[in-house]
Amino acid sequence: MIENGLEFIERSIGQLWLDHDQGHLKHSVIGFYNGVELLIIARLMHERWAFVVSDTNKAKKEDFLKGEFTSVGLDEAIKRIEKILGEDVPQKAKDAFAAIRKHRNKLVHFAMTDVDDEKTRADCHRAVSRMVLSPEIAG
């Protein structure tokens, strides 16, 4: 999971800062958000596989191992890290992730073409910085 998350982020960063094509920016932001989400979820999986499953009451290890489950999203993963694992996720990191989610949602759900490229790039940069400065949130 960590490898997948890092691959998403690595590929998206290349497009994010080097390529100014709107279509590439769209896919870059989506990939970046997916990568961040995977890294945060990996922290839960490090503790227990069932923490990754959206509805832990229905979690079956055999389904999990086959990839047949619904995973938690970023917000729920952060809540579980804080409540179940008792670890603090800095507010600045949560704010940075929320900013990326807003960009992602506009691009995915509404195919927005009026996205502020520079603000999007700055918000992604902030999210990366928060993860580097607070590596405990990514496991």
99-126 confidence digits (pLDDT tens): 888 878 877 777 655 555 666 666 666 6
Return phi, psi of residue 86, to 5°: 70, 25
Instruction: Give the contacts of 108 (CB within 8 A, at least 6 positions apart).
Output: 30
5-42 confidence digits (pLDDT tens): 888 888 887 776 665 656 667 778 888 889 989 999 99
Q: What is the pTM of this model?
A: 0.76
Q: For the chain, where are the alpha helices, taking DSSP H only?
A: 2-18, 22-47, 61-66, 74-83, 91-110, 117-133
Which helix or strand (DSSP H or E) is residue 85 part of? none
3-class DSSP assignment, residue 73: coil
Q: Tokens 């499953």 sit at which residue?
A: 53
